Structure 1
Amino acid sequence: MVDVAVMERNLAAMARLAASAGVRLRPHAKTHKTPLVARRQLEHGAAGLTVATLREAEVLAESGIDDLLLAHPPAGRAKLDRLARLGESVRRLAVSLDSLELAGTVPESVEILWEVDTGLRRIGTPPGEATVEAVLRLVEGIGPARFRGLITHAGHAYAAARPEDREAVAAQEAVGLIETGAMLRARGIPVLELSVGSTPTAPYAARFDGITEMRPGTYVFGDANQVTLGSQTLEDCALAVVGSVVSTPARDRAVMDAGSKALSADLRVPGLDSFGIVLGREDLTVDRLHEEHAVIGGAGAGGLRIGDRLVIVPAHACTTVNLHPALLYVTDREATWHPVEARGWR
């Protein structure tokens, strides 16, 4: 379920942060995967939306959202055909990639941002000369008009346990783009965008002079990872999973019906020893996830009874949302189910 008042507060706070830093906000829709929330982000001043899958892009485009960045390389003929159709239906479409071979197959209606690896070691070329040489070859092949700029993602901030460590990651993220952008401009290549993005680095990276765009995602709902890192508080967490105790097999544990098909079992940051935070119960932890079972531990586990309801803030909001066909959006007046229209991975 989603606490709409908390979500709205998060949307407003990130919009203020971007405005105060003088950068465009292009939030990542992969967290919520629905036009319902995407429209609210635009109404709070977002310039457009970032997406991780073509499905997300198609769903948002069908709802009338017409400025999209696909932050994932669209490899393969089927995806390229979908990309071409999408490019004809929106005002502006861009993709990020790090392959000259792939860039040559991207439809001409689609702009390109070159991916720079500023420390995550996932995708992208290193900052500096390696990226400059790649972009020079890119522009030679596609022309300067379709080259939009540079993009990076500091996902390694999730391994940074202290605020000063996250600030250092943000500096690495921003400076890597800014210096590489300056090198490209010195070689006569226009660089319109220097795009950074993650919720943990957002307060720091956007304040570097030269950054034009930020792409946080998790901030809209918050999660236990953000709380553990200190980038959001428990009061900022709008998303929760509600489950029921179905077994009390021992004095030191209980079992709930919301397992790995309801709560994400993936990323947990340093210091988070539970698969979520049990609201109102600091004496409980989510120790293990099986498909339909969550094993609850902690000092209070022995006091749980069959039928007790537990409200869990998941460790990772994005992948938890993707598990559910619909979310219950709750206000002080009503509770309404809305589908997660863009769930999936393609």
Structure 2
Amino acid sequence: MGELLLEELDTPSLLVDLDRLEQNLQHMQEKANAAGVKLRPHTKTHKMADIARLQLEYGAAGITVAKLSEAEAMAAEGIDNIFIATQIVGKKKLERLRTLAGKATIRVAVDSIEQVEQIASFFGDQVPVSLMIEVDTGQHRCGLESPEAVKLADFIVGRFTQVSLAGLFTHEGHAYHAVDREELKRISLRAQRDLIEASKRVEDKWGIQCEKSIGCTLSQLGGEILPDITEIRPGTYVFYDAAHAYFLGHSNFCAATVLATVTSKSGVERIVADAGAKSFTIDQRSSGIVKTSGFGIVKGHPDLLIRRLSDEHAVIVPGTSLVIGERIEVIPNHVCPTINLYDQAYAIRNGKVEKMFKVHARGCNQ
């Protein structure tokens, strides 16, 4: 690629600030190292194999993905240690899992006897993946409460000798609903203690070592890592977003923005930019410690509010400080679904495009 300046990019475009990205990768790896745990970042945030490779270069032990198709996209790019943190059900997906397991070391989430029986029946005497039991520590989405998670572990270890139980994990995503930092810390510590207690019961009964894996960027920002935890799986830390900026009180860590152009102006009442719901997320957080205002933060313009979005337009108030043709960068409220809207991101340093990141796992929802 010849040298390309930021001002030469068309809009809307997805930008990644390389200095901030590298800072974020380093800080989280240092946190993991200081706590003596493995970092297995969740790549559903960025969906980019180039950034996953950077995370591994900084010291990550492997990656986490949300879907089987994300794992396939990452394995196709040579990444060979992957945890699929959602449950896989059905013959078609198990056939794909078998192919994937020939290319990479794979862990898979389970939270029911039925899933384990499907996997054992499909693969027979040689199951090429190891299992991680999901523990529900308060999010009330997938997973089992601790006593039931222990029973599932007993079922796996006692009945299916050909199946490897790697450990237990939780996603303490309910931390995002905390009303203050103290509640955030309580949620984080409670989730870890529940996970550790269940894991130790399995270890004591069966004489095995369990991975004890937690995963939530916000809890890493606001809490400590208990000594018995062995792995953390934050995802959003790679870029952060407006929700985390409201929590932190600044946007200095926010590495991903959407570049847009002011295309319309109505006196001092409002301006309109050419990036809407099809360019960055329409998500809002209406309460709690990460409550957001509007539909994103206009970088460098704390006076502006993105009042509403339509498919291709952002309506911003007031209309006094910008003119038609001026360009803005928007920090999205929720960066993960924003990334999934783009084929590529422009990696920027000192106002120049240093490289391009392909969004390898864009649309990988199966």
Match in the other structure for 2:254 = 237
Match in the other structure for 1:140 = 158
TM norm structure 1 = 0.93
1:301 to 300, 319, 327: 319
2:111 to 74, 98, 102: 98
Q: CA RMSD in A?
A: 1.8
Match in the other structure for 1:208 = 226
Once the two structures are superposed, what CA deviation does each residue of 1:268-315 show, in whole Å capped at 9, x if it has no partner? Answer: 263312211111111101121211111112xx3244332221111111
TM norm structure 2 = 0.88
Q: Specify whether residues 188 and 130 from structure 1 end up closer, same or farther in structure 2 by C-alpha distance, changes over 3 A only.
A: same
On the 8 A contact 2:284/2:295 being kept in 1, the answer is no
Higher relative contact order by CA 8 Å / sep ≥ 6: 1 or 2?
A: 2
Match in the other structure for 1:246 = 263
Match in the other structure for 2:12 = none
> 1:174 Cα deviation (Å)?
0.4
Once the two structures are superposed, what CA deviation does each residue of 1:201-247 show, in whole Å capped at 9, x if it has no partner? Answer: 125666202100000000011111111122x8411111000111222
On the 8 A contact 1:206/1:213 being kept in 2, the answer is no
> 1:250 Cα deviation (Å)?
5.8
Range moving further from structure 2, 276-285 or 249-258: 249-258
Match in the other structure for 1:310 = 328
Letter in 1 for 2:111: D
Counterpart Cα distance in 2 of 1:25 and 1:75: 27
Once the two structures are superposed, what CA deviation does each residue of 1:178-206 show, in whole Å capped at 9, x if it has no partner? Answer: 11112222322524200001111125666
Counterpart Cα distance in 1 of 2:286 and 2:175: 10
Q: Secondary structure at the match of 1:101?
A: helix
Residue 356 (structure 2) pairs with residue 343 (structure 1): no
Identity of aligned residues (%): 38
> 1:169 Cα deviation (Å)?
1.2
> 1:144 Cα deviation (Å)?
7.5
On the 8 A contact 2:175/2:218 being kept in 1, the answer is yes
Range moving further from structure 2, 26-35 or 56-65: 56-65
Unaligned segments of structure 2, at least 5 residues = 1-14
On the 8 A contact 1:104/1:141 being kept in 2, the answer is no
On the 8 A contact 2:136/2:143 being kept in 1, the answer is yes
2:300 to 276, 280, 284: 280
2:139 to 106, 110, 120: 120
Counterpart Cα distance in 2 of 1:296 and 1:78: 46
Letter in 1 for 2:109: S
Match in the other structure for 1:199 = 217
Letter in 1 for 2:106: L
Q: Specify whether residues 75 and 205 from structure 1 end up closer, same or farther in structure 2 by C-alpha distance, changes over 3 A only.
A: farther
Counterpart Cα distance in 1 of 2:159 and 2:281: 42
Counterpart Cα distance in 1 of 2:144 and 2:37: 24
Unaligned segments of structure 1, at least 5 residues = none
Counterpart Cα distance in 1 of 2:164 and 2:292: 43
Letter in 1 for 2:114: E
Counterpart Cα distance in 2 of 1:161 and 1:7: 28
Counterpart Cα distance in 2 of 1:296 and 1:77: 49
Counterpart Cα distance in 1 of 2:224 and 2:113: 28
1:34 to 20, 27, 48: 48
Matches within 5 A, 1:36-115: 36-90=50-104, 92-106=105-119, 107=123, 108-115=127-134
Q: Which runs of 4+ in 1 moved over 4 A?
A: 203-206
Counterpart Cα distance in 1 of 2:118 and 2:245: 42
Q: Specify whether residues 149 and 269 from structure 1 end up closer, same or farther in structure 2 by C-alpha distance, changes over 3 A only.
A: farther
On the 8 A contact 2:135/2:143 being kept in 1, the answer is yes
Q: Secondary structure at the match of 1:320?
A: helix
Q: Secondary structure at the match of 2:217?
A: coil
Once the two structures are superposed, what CA deviation does each residue of 1:29-60 show, in whole Å capped at 9, x if it has no partner? Answer: 11111110001100100000001112221121
Q: Specify whether residues 278 and 184 from structure 1 end up closer, same or farther in structure 2 by C-alpha distance, changes over 3 A only.
A: same
Counterpart Cα distance in 1 of 2:103 and 2:152: 30
Letter in 2 for 1:87: A
Letter in 2 for 1:316: H
